[in-house]
Amino acid sequence: MGIRKFAVPLISALAVAFSHPLGAEEKAEIKDIQTFDTLASEFSKAYTQLELPDLELSFITNLENLGSADVLSHQQSVFTGLQSQLTRIDQQALDVCRKIDYSIMSDEIELGLRRADLGLRFVEQKVDLSAVKSINELAMGEAWYGYFLDRWNSARLEPDALYQFGEAQLKRSVARYDAIQAQLGFSGDDEGFAKHLANYSQTLHDGEAILALFRQKQARVWARMHQLFPQSYGVFPARIKLSELGEDFPVEGYYEPTEETFYFNLLKKGYEERQTDWLFLHEGSPGHHFQIRAERVGKRCKTQLPSMYSPAYSEGWAAYTENLGEALGLYTTPEAKLAGIEWDMVRSVRVVLDVALNQYGWSDQQALDYWHAHVRGQKHLAQREIDRMRRWPAQVITYKYGANVFETVKAQYLKTAENQEAAVKAFHDAAIAYGAMPLRTFEELFSDLVKKRIPADS
C-alpha cells in the first residue's frame, strides 16, 4: 500500500529579515546566509532546467530514462559545479530551515552525480533491456542496486547490514505474532489458529458497508489525534472513496495526494474487516494523508527548492503510524492488532529477500523457501512480493528502514524526557511540521527541529 502518485513536495528554507545594526561577527554570518540563498536559487533553476525524469518504480523504466551520453555528461557537469559551490557554505551558520535545504541539495547533487556516472558507463554497453527480468542479471547490476537503495531511501545503505536488519525485524515480528497466538489459546496450533482467524473476521463485499466502516474508524482516530499531536497543521480528515480500479490494481487501498483521498479497493476476495485498522492508519491519518497535507498547508519552513520525492520519509512515516493504533482508538481486539503485525512481518521479510534477490542473486525458489520457513501465514503473498522485488528493486526497503528511523529517534528522545506525553507530541511535531526530508537529515537535525516548536493551535 502507499501513495499512488509520487508528487510529494519536499521541504524548505525560512527567509529571515534583519533590520537591526550588525556587529562584525553577525555580518559574516549574514554573508554566508545570503550566499546560501543565492546558491539555493541557482540550484533550483539549474535542477529544473535539467528536466530529470521522475524516479519510477520499475528499474527497467529508470534505466530506459537515462538519456544519451551527451545528456548525462551535461548533468554531470552541472552537478559537479553545484557541488563545488555547496562545499563552500558553512552549514553551521545556517538556521534550521536552511540546514534542511542544504542537506536536500547535497543529497540530490550526490545522487545526481552517481546516476550520471553510472549512466555514462551503462549507455556505452548498449544493453538490450527487453529480455532483462532482474537487476542482478546486469553486468552493472550490483552498482545499480546500490544506487537504487540509496535513491529510494535517501541514505547510504550497505546490503549486508540491511539483510541483517531485515532478519532482526522479522524475528521481532514473528515473536509478536506468536505472543498473540498464545494469548488467544492457540500456542503451537497453527491450523486451529488459521481457522479461528478465518471465522473471526467478517469478509465484506459491499462498498457502502466498507465505506461506512472506514468513516467510523476515521472519526474515532480524529477524536484522539490531539493526544499525540500538538496541532492539526491545517489538516482535515481525508476523503474516502471506493476505487474503480478493482483487480487491475490489486491492492486493498492507496492514497491519492492530488485528490486528498484515501481509496479502498474492493477485490474479488472481499474485505477482511480486521485488516482495516492498520490500512486506514497507513493511508489516512496520521499516515500519508496527514503527513502530506500538513506539508502542503502547515509546513513551518518556506523554500526555493523544486518539489522532490522523499520515498523513505513518506512510506516510513506511514508504516511508523501503524504502531499508534491503540492510542488512537483502533486495534481494540488481539485479532485486529495481529493484522498490523502480519503486514509488519511481510515488510520485514521483504527487506531480507530484496537484498537476497537483487544483491546475492537468489532464485525465486530460494526466496520462496525462505518465506515459507520464516513467515507465519501469508503464503499467498510470497510469489507476488518476489515478483515485485524483481521489478522494483529497493522500493520495499523504504517502509521498514523509514519506520525504524522514526522509532529509533523517538525512543532515544523519550529516554531523557520527564513528561512522556509532551515528549511524544514534540517528537511528532518535529516529524510533521518540517515536511519530508532525507531521513539522515531528520536524525542529524532532530535536536534542532524539536527545539523550534511553536505554540499549538488546538
List, for residues 282-306, the tens digit of each pLDDT value.
Answer: 999 999 999 999 999 989 999 889 9
Looking at residue 272, the DSSP 8-state letter turns out to be E
* Contact present, 112 and 75 (Cβ < 8 Å): yes
Please say if the pLDDT value at position 456 is more than 50.
no
Residue 377: pLDDT band by 50, 70, 90 thresholds? confident
Percent of the chain with pLDDT over 90: 83
Those residues with Cβ within 8 angstroms of residue 247's Cβ, 6 or more apart along the chain or in another chain: 267, 268
- What is the model's pLDDT at position 29? 45
- What is the model's pLDDT at position 387? 96
DSSP H or E stretch at residue 240: strand 239-242
By the 10 Å C-beta count (0-12 exposed, 13-18 middle, 19+ buried), 179 is classed as: middle
CB atoms within 10 A of CB 445: 18
For residues 321 and 91, the model is more confident at: 321
Closest CA to 305 of 115, 109, 116: 109
> Which of the residue ranges 70-79, 241-250, 267-276, 446-455 has the most confident prediction, judged by mean pLDDT?
70-79
- What is the model's pLDDT at position 292? 96
Provide the phi-psi class of 100: left if phi over 0, else alpha when psi is between -120 and 50, else beta.
alpha
- What is the model's pLDDT at position 206? 94
- What is the model's pLDDT at position 104? 95
Whole-model pTM: value is: 0.91
The mean pLDDT value for 341-356 works out to 97
CB atoms within 10 A of CB 202: 12
Please give the span between the terminal C-alpha atoms of the chain, in angstroms, as a whole number: 31
The mean pLDDT value for 88-101 works out to 93
Half-sphere exposure of 265 (CA within 13 A, CB side): 19
Please say if the pLDDT value at position 457 is more than 50.
no
The whole-angstrom separation of Cα 172 and Cα 362 is: 24
**Rounded mean pLDDT of the chain?**
91
Please say if the pLDDT value at position 256 is more than 50.
yes
The whole-angstrom separation of Cα 342 and Cα 347 is: 9
The whole-angstrom separation of Cα 42 and Cα 34 is: 12
- What is the model's pLDDT at position 15? 24
Of 17-21, 98-102, 204-208, 350-354, the range with the lowest mean pLDDT is 17-21
- What is the model's pLDDT at position 20? 29
Look at the block and give the residue holding cell 520462496: 368
* Contact present, 238 and 217 (Cβ < 8 Å): no
Residue 97: pLDDT band by 50, 70, 90 thresholds? very high
Of 197-206, 231-240, 396-405, 436-445, the range with the lowest mean pLDDT is 197-206
Q: What is the per-residue pLDDT across 17-41, written as a single tens digit (0 to 9) for each?
A: 222 233 333 344 446 788 999 999 9
381-385 contacts, C-beta under 8 A, 24 or more apart: 381/346, 384/250, 385/346, 385/350, 385/353
Of 1-5, 182-186, 349-353, 446-450, the range with the lowest mean pLDDT is 1-5
Per-residue H/E/C for 193-252? HHHHHHHHCCEECCHHHHHHHHHHHHHHHHCCHHHCCCCCCCCCCCEEEECCCHHHCCCC
Cis previous bond, 286, omega within 30? yes
- What is the model's pLDDT at position 407? 98
For residue 242, list its beta bridge partners. 264
Please say if the pLDDT value at position 364 is more than 60.
yes
- What is the model's pLDDT at position 17? 24
- What is the model's pLDDT at position 267? 86
- What is the model's pLDDT at position 21? 31
Of 166-180, 189-203, 224-238, the range with the lowest mean pLDDT is 189-203
- What is the model's pLDDT at position 453? 55
* Contact present, 342 and 376 (Cβ < 8 Å): yes
Closest CA to 438 of 155, 56, 94, 43: 155
